[in-house]
Chain A
């Protein structure tokens, strides 16, 4: 093709122009890119640097060590011990199912746990460890370690878990911890972030729950560098948390253990208070349970067994259980009358076995009657009619007020779950609650601790300590926090005529130390250790006239739920009160028969600081007592051995 040179020149010039134009455009665009780069990298650099740091740095909480709990002598009640768990990293395991199958041949795996772990695996990135089995024994851990080559991705991990070495003995006092549940979180308005750590344990029941905030401590934090998928690349720095406060309880673990064993398999409870300081040294509720079961996550079968037991092992009867105090209340009625000056110690009342009050017949427990009864005899023989007569003279409001001064119907603020307030009724209470007038019959019932009157074993123990000392003793459960001694509960002297108190105490002495006294069978004969007490038998049903006519049925012949509660309150030594105790055996029958021996044994154990010599017991009981001591010792030994073999 022929071309004219001039045309070629012209088109070349045009191309050059356009090339330069495009070149200029490109340069301008590059300039724009440079400006953008400057904008991002110079003007906004700080902001983006911050975003980059936010991307890569994660703050992880470090759970604090929970405060430990000790008894008054430093014996450990709740501790953090290393627990082993087996985790799997799916990414390292490769064939997860095959690895789990091999693992299950080495140690028992719960199919439920496996299912849960597999669900978790599907949700989380493959490099995150997932727990397959928790609370693994050291034996199983070593088995896994030996077989490590055949178990890719499986790692034994060490964590801290709560352990209660005293098991059943402190289940009701210390309570237990468990993993935070959604329900726990829903109760809090602004839950601490630490509570969202998986498997973080908090107090669920008892002391653990009540002083949760002090025991928990403060979480630490570490800053870690993570990659885009959340994998931790390295730790940048860490700030250690603050361990929770160590708590020392006023309870004597040895005595507590003895008391628990002494209550045996009855549905019963016992409280022992140091009269001088208010220290609760034993507070046992039977039957009990192993709190460690709850820490691990209790099985449905075990839990059902606990909830369906009619002896209610989960209830802490010492503070949650309220019972009509029965005759143990008579000291209060007597004091109310004495303080009002309505009776003299010499005055007697005629007890024919019953009393007519506004057309209704109120019976004495002794159908034949006590004859002429003075104050001392009324306590010793527990004559009911004497108190009917007294109460009508004093009136309910005075009796109720006196009850409250002795700690009945008043909530003692111990750090335990569901501490009951009990009830010391008066006129105002009845009209407020039922909109009814108080009747004389109500007063008559109240005078012997029946009717509306309700008290917990703890309240009865406090009442007894106040009677013994004349001071308003307050119960104390926490001896020291992180080594700092807590205020004691010795209390101020009560504004009560010492002579009147002495009169009542003498009556209680007669109960336990004089023939025909209701507690005479369970006395202490060691000089300087003698105890003063009062029995109580409280009805849980009304005895109808028809029943009475047919002859009162003996307790042994009734179904368990309808038998009377057996109560006994006591303190010792009589001359110089050291310990006060209250024992309640639910549906145990008579107080003097079912509760008094327990109260005596527990008091002696406390007074001697261990197994008491047989000389402290009446001669004819000694062989029986010796057998009992030996049996309890064997049982405790057996249980301790059981503990050891399980831990080994």
Chain B
């Protein structure tokens, strides 16, 4: 007799579920999406096309997806985790063989009505599978080596596939989110310390090797690193994007240059201004106040997720909610670091704000899981 079955009677059923929907979280998500609409309207030069309209449609579709996912009991999602992961895997492999090449990388499957990015789907299904795995695995076993290897394989395989596309940003997100779930599940900290130590050692070795006979990277790869560390060295080449992005941010000042008044974005100095670099437009037009407000809303979303996770006694529900929180956090943290010149440009969108269907739908589905965890916790 499982712990869950014991308490099933106290879980809300039927239409009453809607009352238990986390309305503040829904509202926060809607406001993030609204910021996105506003910025897309601005970068289109004050027009609903070509970006705002599809984005609104996707958000409405996303809301529907969230509601449907939220209504389905969380244990159903736990039970299909393996299936979902395998399905994502198949799609990833399909991209490898039949994907459409766009922006120099093979990322999409054209489904006719929309382009699906399986790597986005994988971000959630990976978290689901890991959560289900640790729900199934007795807590005392999770630090044993043989039980650590399996989740590592679960993480590494999709990561490598995504890296092949090549999509460095998503691989980093997959690894970090997967590692995060393992950490939360209670895997001994020494494993993480070892991995982090090894990584730091490797980076140090790479830099030390420069200019010696056993140089580990090619010269051009070193130059890319140089450009990241000091974009002004190469103002018209690879450093151009990051330099322009920083100029846009900085010129926003305290309160910004005003809605639709950002010269950097309006005059096309910003790259990818409707996708990865949309935050720069926000920061340019609404300044420090605008930027910090969005950051605050994002943090509130995280807080709601953690609160939900801590409130439920269901291990899968907690882990999946926390995993989604980590993924969401990684999205905006990497994106913001990137546009502020703190991280290399790796191609991670600003969640729910950047133009893009897959991320929007997948994230809304993920928040559906969070809502489901909230609704279906025993009361």
A496 to chain B, nearest CB (A): 74
B180, A22: Cβ atoms closer than 8 Å = yes
Known: A7-B140, A33-B295, A34-B292. A52 touches B254 (CB 8 A): no
Known: A7-B139, A12-B315, A52-B264. A27 touches B299 (CB 8 A): yes
Partner of A227, one of B249, B268, B329: B268
A228, B253: Cβ atoms closer than 8 Å = no
Chain B: which residue is nearest A29 at the CB level? B333
A33, B336: Cβ atoms closer than 8 Å = yes
A18, B184: Cβ atoms closer than 8 Å = yes
Answer yes or no: A55 CB below 8 A from chain B CBs. Answer: yes
- Chain A residues with Cβ under 8 A from B310's Cβ? 16, 19
Answer yes or no: B89 CB below 8 A from chain A CBs. Answer: no
Answer yes or no: A305 CB below 8 A from chain B CBs. Answer: no
Interface stretch (choices B149-157, B283-291, B357-365): B283-291
Q: Which of A5-26 contact B (CB under 8 A)?
A: 5, 7-8, 10-12, 14-16, 18-20, 22-23, 26
B342 to chain A, nearest CB (A): 6
Give the distance in Å from the alpha carbon of A368 to the alpha carbon of B309 in the complex: 136
Q: How many residues of A contact B (CB 8 A)?
A: 44
- Chain A residues with Cβ under 8 A from B340's Cβ? 33, 36-37, 40
- Chain B residues with Cβ under 8 A from A8's Cβ? 3, 139, 313, 315
Answer yes or no: A233 CB below 8 A from chain B CBs. Answer: yes
Residue-wise interface mask of B (144-186) relative to A, using a CB-CB cutoff of 8 A (1 in contact, 0 not): 0000000000000000000000000000000000001001111
A7 to chain B, nearest CB (A): 6
Answer yes or no: A30 CB below 8 A from chain B CBs. Answer: yes
Give the distance in Å from the alpha carbon of A38 to the alpha carbon of B333 in the complex: 16
Known: A1-B138, A11-B186, A27-B299. A37 touches B249 (CB 8 A): yes
Chain B: which residue is nearest A23 at the CB level? B306
Q: Which of B197-251 contact A (CB under 8 A)?
A: 244, 246-251
Interface stretch (choices B36-44, B76-84, B95-103, B318-326): B318-326
B318 to chain A, nearest CB (A): 6
The number of A-B residue pairs with CB atoms under 8 Å apart is 144
B283, A3: Cβ atoms closer than 8 Å = no
Chain B: which residue is nearest A15 at the CB level? B184
Answer yes or no: B13 CB below 8 A from chain A CBs. Answer: no
- Chain A residues with Cβ under 8 A from B302's Cβ? 23, 26
B3, A3: Cβ atoms closer than 8 Å = yes
A280 to chain B, nearest CB (A): 57
A143 to chain B, nearest CB (A): 37
Chain B: which residue is nearest A46 at the CB level? B253
Answer yes or no: B267 CB below 8 A from chain A CBs. Answer: yes
Q: Which of A177-231 contact B (CB under 8 A)?
A: 225-229
B139, A11: Cβ atoms closer than 8 Å = yes
Partner of B263, one of A12, A18, A55: A55
B263, A37: Cβ atoms closer than 8 Å = no
A15, B186: Cβ atoms closer than 8 Å = yes
B312 to chain A, nearest CB (A): 10
Give the distance in Å from the alpha carbon of A30 to the alpha carbon of B310 in the complex: 21
Partner of B254, one of A16, A41, A227: A41
Known: A52-B263, A55-B267. A1 touches B329 (CB 8 A): no
A311 to chain B, nearest CB (A): 56
Interface centre among A8, A10, A51 (most CB of B within 10 A): A51
Answer yes or no: A56 CB below 8 A from chain B CBs. Answer: yes
B250, A48: Cβ atoms closer than 8 Å = yes
Answer yes or no: B20 CB below 8 A from chain A CBs. Answer: no
A554 to chain B, nearest CB (A): 77
Answer yes or no: A637 CB below 8 A from chain B CBs. Answer: no
Answer yes or no: A45 CB below 8 A from chain B CBs. Answer: yes
- Chain A residues with Cβ under 8 A from B259's Cβ? none
A37, B267: Cβ atoms closer than 8 Å = no
The 4 closest A-B pairs by CB, nearest first: A48-B250, A11-B139, A52-B251, A45-B253
Q: Which residues of chain A have a CB within 8 Å of any CB of chain B?
A: 1, 3, 5, 7-8, 10-12, 14-16, 18-20, 22-23, 26-27, 29-30, 33-34, 36-38, 40-42, 44-45, 47-49, 51-53, 55-56, 225-229, 233
8 more contacts with CB within 8 A, not counting A8-B3, A33-B340, are A19-B309, A19-B318, A22-B183, A27-B299, A41-B249, A41-B287, A55-B244, A227-B269
Q: Which residues of chain B have a CB within 8 Å of any CB of chain A?
A: 2-3, 136, 138-140, 180, 183-186, 244, 246-254, 263-264, 266-269, 283, 287-288, 291-292, 295, 298-299, 302-303, 306, 309-310, 313, 315, 318-319, 322, 326, 329, 333, 336-337, 340, 342
In the complex, 7 of the A-B residue pairs with CB atoms within 8 angstroms, ordered by the A residue number, are A5-B3, A7-B140, A12-B313, A19-B318, A36-B342, A42-B253, A233-B267
